[in-house]
Amino acid sequence: MNNKNEHETIYYKNHSQKLVSISLTNREKDIVRLLAINNTSNEIAEKLCISYHTVGVQRKNILENLILALLKSSCSIV
């Protein structure tokens, strides 16, 4: 069984088709999947048996990781 704190790297292509990676925990991936099908934070909390506050913290972490990955992908090293 996977530890909920274990990170997995997810790869996607940004607007310029450059491969970008983001590291998410299993719980963060669960939340992204539920957000993708238009669940609210309250619905996610109920489905995952966690508090509304925890969903908010996880959403913040996901967004921060995504922003960081996008910033890294837009910078070129000279």
DSSP-H helix ranges across the chain: 26-36, 41-48, 52-74
Q: Report yes or no: 31 and 59 within 8 Å, Cβ to Cβ.
A: yes
pTM of the model as a whole: 0.71
Reported as a pLDDT band with limits 50, 70 and 90, residue 72 is confident
Cα torsion for 53, 58, 61, 66, to the nearest 10°?
-130
Q: Is residue 71 scored above 90 in pLDDT? A: no
Residue that has been written with the tokens 């913040």 in this structure: 60
Each residue's pLDDT tens digit, 52-66: 999 999 999 999 988
Report residue 4's pLDDT band, with 50, 70 and 90 as the boundaries: low
Please count the CA atoms within 13 angstroms of the CA of 14 that sit on its side-chain side. 16
**Are the C-beta atoms of 27 and 49 separated by less than 8 Å?**
no
Question: Where does the pLDDT of residue 21 fall: very low under 50, low under 70, confident under 90, or very high at 90 and above?
Answer: confident
